Chains A and B, each alone.
Chain A
Amino acid sequence: VQAVSGELVVTPQLAYGSTAKSGAHGFTARQLSRIDEALTLSSRESGLTFSVYVGELAEPSRERAYELFGQLPATAVAPVLVAVSPGQRVLQIVTGAESAARIPNKSCALAALSMRASFTAGDLAGGIVTGLRMLSDAAGRI
């Protein structure tokens, strides 16, 4: 993902392993593969499409998260966006019509709470993985 002339270009595949430029994202290759595994597993088990954004969120961050949610590919089934801005210390979870039917806001708030706990301790990847697991548990299996 790179900002190209003010617009975000989504590279939908997660690059990991030795080829990943781990420094660019701020994650180690190992952390990237943990996030990848959590994304893949939670999406497969719940049938929802989880998506994780890590980076700056322009203010107001909630509206920016909505914008990003709208930019998800239309092929994504029942998308759920987890947007984390470590610099601003803000996290946003956005659900759409289909995913909100499976994950009530109360469960999103619970996931956000435990993500916060990890982030406060400085564990970004761990918090993201925990959040994804909790969201997919809340959604249940297909």
Chain B
Amino acid sequence: VSITETLLTFVGAPALIFAVISLAALGPSQMRAPARYRPGRAWTHEPAWFLPHAAAAASTGGSGHGEVTGQVTGQVSAPSGANAGPVGGASGEW
């Protein structure tokens, strides 16, 4: 048995099996993942707006905030006590 054959059997074969399994495991998710954000590059994705799940908001107690359902169109709603308008906050740039 030559050294080449030994190397192929004990190093080459495991490496090949390792590579095939890693590709099968990681490949599909790598293909699906959106491109990573890099500062300075344009952001071409759709705008997204997230609110907590209604159940979480409802479990905080208090009154007058039932389930958040359906869609809210872009009109500014009549100011209510809870959501009367912006008061403070902070800004940042990077």
Query: Please, how many angstroms separate the alpha-carbon atoms of A75 and B70 in the complex?
Result: 12
Number of interface residues of A (CB under 8 A): 82
**8 Å CB interface, A112-142 against B:** 112-113, 115-116, 119-120, 122-124, 142
- Chain A neighbourhood of B85, CB < 8 A: 66, 69-70, 96-97
- If over half of A's interface residues share one DSSP class (helix, strand or loop), that class is named, otherwise mixed; here it is mixed
- Chain B neighbourhood of A9, CB < 8 A: 71-74
- If over half of B's interface residues share one DSSP class (helix, strand or loop), that class is named, otherwise mixed; here it is loop
| Residue of A with least CB distance to B60 | A47
Query: Please, how many angstroms separate the alpha-carbon atoms of A90 and B62 in the complex?
Result: 34
Chain B residues in the interface with A (C-beta under 8 A): 32-54, 56-57, 59-62, 64-66, 68-69, 71-78, 80, 82-94
* B59–chain A nearest beta-carbon distance, Å: 6
| Residue of B with least CB distance to A26 | B45
| Residue of B with least CB distance to A6 | B74
Judge whether A8 and B62 touch: CB under 8 Å.
Answer: no
